[in-house]
Amino acid sequence: MPPSLKRNKMRTRLFSLILLLTLVNGCSDDTPQAEAGQQASHLSCAALQDITPYCEFKNPEDLVIVPGGQQLLVSEMGEFLTDNPGQLSLFDIASGARQPINIDWLNPGQQWGAPGCAAPDAELFSPHGIDLTTRADGQTQLLVVNHGGREAVEFFALTGAANQWQLVWKGCAIPPEDPFINDVAGLNDGGILVTHMWNKSMPFEEVVAKLTAGEFIGWVWHWDPHRGFNKLPGSSELMPNGITVSHDSQKAFVNIYMGNKTIKLDIASGEKEGEFAVQQPDNITIDEAGNLWVASHKHDPINQSCAEVLEGPCLLPFDIVRADSKTMTSEVVLHHAGAPMGFATVALKVGDKIFMGSAHGDRIASYSLRH
């Protein structure tokens, strides 16, 4: 096989080893199981077990609500650790349909982000975590972690209205050193927080050794227009993953994937103000009432994998956890294993439903909270 494919397969196996050791050290013995590599190439896109799927996506890893609440903006990422190109799209809630969204890469006008940061190669664009914020001048800003050709946060303006949305690339910010970033959150002052998992050029065997030894090789980068990038105090941890902030931009909530927890940090001081336990937490969102929503992976990473699922969804089990952002008390709202969707990476509350995406598969899904 090509050398690049060999490297990706090796990385996948080694990453599975990391997760196994995490489960052994930090998780209970009653972790729900599902068949390893369960094929779902012909699985129907029909509602089942109170979950309604919406198909024709490719790896819809992260979701945000666009103004008006009628649509979601979707980050369709390449496979993890490959940096393959992906795309951004829209999901229409009423029709359940996927819709394309146009991106203007060439006419940024007044740029946002770091001065002089050049546009990426659009053909390589590989989105991961996203966040939608309102800037001080009232414009709607989409922040996107991009792995395509560089590790950067890309800034976009979301313009138009329902059924006529478009994106205009406005600038970027590239973390220093050797970043391998995952998710991003915008702040009210125009700054951003972005999670750094580990140094990207570090041999993966070394990543495994350091993480399993409990070495904090990840952290959160804090960027603002005046000071650039600095490490957020108190954020060094075992693979920071998803991130969101309180509505007043005073607190950060960070999912520590390898540490099996979500932590609350004061952004100004870096003081840790609370945490709750959650197995393998991926993305995190915050709703209008201040509740946190976390997608938690529940699979056995040695015996269960998405690698063999070439069509349809990956059906690895997951939990959706809701937590109070003030008290950091949490509860499992949904535990699910099997069809019609698995391996949820994000939970986003819209009205009386949660919408879920996945880093591997062809679908978004919704679940009604009226149970």
pLDDT at 302: 52
DSSP 8-state symbol, 231: E
Q: What is the CA radius of gyration of the chain?
A: 19
**Pairwise CA distance, residues 123 & 87, whole Å:** 10
**Using CB atoms within 10 A of its CB, is residue 225 exposed (0-12), middle (13-18) or buried (19+)?**
middle
Q: Please report which helix (H) or strand (E) contains residue 283, including its range.
A: strand 281-286
In percent, how much of the chain has pLDDT > 90?
79
**Using CB atoms within 10 A of its CB, is residue 100 exposed (0-12), middle (13-18) or buried (19+)?**
exposed
Give 159-210 pLDDT, tens digit per residue. Answer: 998 779 999 999 999 999 999 999 999 999 999 999 999 999 999 889 888 9
CATH 2.60.200.20 is held by the domain 3-368? no
pLDDT at 250: 98
DSSP 8-state symbol, 124: G
CA separation (Å) from 193 to 24, 152, 175, 292, 316? Answer: 31, 12, 11, 17, 30
Q: What is the mean pLDDT of the chain?
A: 89
DSSP 8-state symbol, 87: E
Is 176 in a helix, a strand, or coil? coil
In percent, how much of the chain has pLDDT > 70?
87
Cα end-to-end distance, the chain, whole Å = 49
DSSP 243-276: EEE-TTS-EEEEEETTTTEEEEEETTT--EEEEE
pLDDT at 47: 95
Q: Please report which helix (H) or strand (E) contains residue 332, including its range.
A: strand 330-336
What mean pLDDT is predicted for residues 251-257? 97
CA separation (Å) from 359 to 10, 16, 62, 95, 363? Answer: 19, 15, 8, 23, 10
The pTM (predicted TM-score) of the whole model is 0.90
**Pairwise CA distance, residues 359 & 343, whole Å:** 7
What mean pLDDT is predicted for residues 238-264? 97
What mean pLDDT is predicted for residues 254-278? 97
pLDDT at 301: 55
| Side-chain-facing half-sphere of 340: CA atoms under 13 Å | 20
Nearest to 280 by CA among 294, 268, 265: 294
Neighbour tally for 348: CB within 10 Å? 22
Is 161 in a helix, a strand, or coil? coil
- The more confident residue out of 129 and 31 is 129
pLDDT at 39: 44
Give 319-333 pLDDT, tens digit per residue. Answer: 999 999 999 999 999
CB 217 within 8 A of CB 241: no
CB 51 within 8 A of CB 365: yes
CA separation (Å) from 321 to 61, 171, 239, 294, 336? Answer: 17, 34, 19, 5, 12
Give 18-59 pLDDT, tens digit per residue. Answer: 444 443 333 333 333 334 344 444 489 999 999 999 999 999
Give 280-296 pLDDT, tens digit per residue. Answer: 999 999 999 999 999 99
Give 203-237 pLDDT, tens digit per residue. Answer: 988 988 898 899 999 999 999 999 999 999 999 99
